[in-house]
């Protein structure tokens, strides 16, 4: 059973470009979460999605950032007009449902570097 | 909102000794407390979790304790091995979805 798949593993963008990060959840999982990790820090919640719905985006910056989880295909985290402060590791997690009986399983992340 | 504090930030122990990492949380509504292990270049891996209706849980060399009154929980690793070297994160959540993570503990096992 494949785990959470994220691609690309590494992404380099110049300031002002767009970054698209993809996440395929574990088989059977319909809940997807995005977290951001700055160097030497813990993970910070960004957004929680179910198929075609954003459930909680309270951790996502209001501008330049968007996320989707379409009916078909992977979840996408999109960062427009990237700035150096966007450089971080972005992790996707998935779960089969809600609540304490549905723990989160993380992918290996996408490391975004903005030059 | 929830705030999780984790200590120590770094921990070095001799192989075979025990390691203890402690976390405190602020939101009494939190009822789910997982621990994740993160190796270099990889994502966090769930190693053990505990729910608020339980005070202690053990899985082989790993155990977690929870004190709801004091709002703190701890990870205990016994008989440490070199492969236990990693960064460990605690987290808290009122429902297992929107996890709030601690700052992490870099554990080094010395042979």
Q: Does any CB of chain B come closer than 8 Å to the CB of residue A98?
A: yes
Across the interface, do A104 and B95 touch by the CB < 8 Å criterion?
no
Helix (H, G, I), strand (E, B) or coil at A85: helix
d(CA B19, CA A114): 37
| pLDDT tens figures, B30-84 | 999 999 999 998 999 999 999 888 899 999 999 999 999 999 999 999 999 999 9
CB-CB neighbors (< 8 A) of A103 in chain B: 34, 46, 49, 96
Considering only the beta carbons, identify the residue of A6, A42, A99 that sits closest to B104: A42
Q: Which two tokens stand for residue A66?
A: 């968007």
SS (H, E, C) chain B: CCCEEEECCEEEEECCCCEEEEEEECCCCCCEEEEEEECCCCCCEEEEEEECCCCEEEECCEEEEEECCCCEEEEEECCCCHHHCEEEEEEEECCCCCCEECCCEEEEEEC
Output the tens digit of pLDDT for each of chain A's 115 residues: 579 999 999 999 999 999 999 999 999 898 999 999 998 788 999 999 998 899 999 999 999 999 999 989 999 999 999 999 999 999 999 998 876 667 889 999 999 999 9
Helix (H, G, I), strand (E, B) or coil at A86: helix
| Whole-number pLDDT of residue A64 | 97
Q: Does any CB of chain A come closer than 8 Å to the CB of residue B53?
A: no
| Whole-number pLDDT of residue A96 | 86
Which strands sit side by side in the sheet containing B19-25, from one edge to the other?
A: B4-7, B19-25, B72-77, B62-67, B56-59
**CA distance readout (Å), B38 to A112, B75, B93:** 18, 15, 19
Which residues 65-104 of B have a C-beta within 8 angstroms of A? Answer: 89, 95-104
In what helix (H) or strand (E) does residue A102 lie, and over which residues does it extend?
A: none
Q: Does any CB of chain B come closer than 8 Å to the CB of residue A41?
A: yes
């Amino acid at each position: 059973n494949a785990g959470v798949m994220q691609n690309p593993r590494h992404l380099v963008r110049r300031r002002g470009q767009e970054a698209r990060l993809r996440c395929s959840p574990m088989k059977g999982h319909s809940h997807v979460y995005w977290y951001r990790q700055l160097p030497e820090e813990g993970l910070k919640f960004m957004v929680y999605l179910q198929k075609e719905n954003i459930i909680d985006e309270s951790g996502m910056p209001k501008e330049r950032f968007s996320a989707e989880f379409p009916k078909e295909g992977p979840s996408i985290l999109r960062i427009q007009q990237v700035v150096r402060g966007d450089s971080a590791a972005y992790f996707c997690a998935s779960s089969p449902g809600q609540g304490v009986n549905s723990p989160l399983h993380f992918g290996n992340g996408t490391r975004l570097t903005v030059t | 909102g929830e705030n999780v504090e984790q200590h120590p930030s770094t921990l070095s122990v001799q192989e075979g000794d025990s390691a203890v990492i402690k976390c405190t949380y602020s939101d009494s509504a939190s009822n789910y407390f997982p621990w994740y292990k993160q190796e270099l270049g990889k994502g966090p891996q769930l190693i053990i979790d505990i729910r608020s209706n339980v005070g202690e849980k053990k899985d082989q060399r790993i155990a977690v304790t929870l004190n709801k009154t004091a709002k703190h929980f701890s990870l205990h690793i016994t008989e440490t091995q070199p492969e236990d070297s990693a960064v460990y994160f605690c987290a808290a959540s009122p429902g297992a979805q929107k996890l709030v993570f601690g700052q992490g503990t870099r554990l080094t096992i010395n042979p």
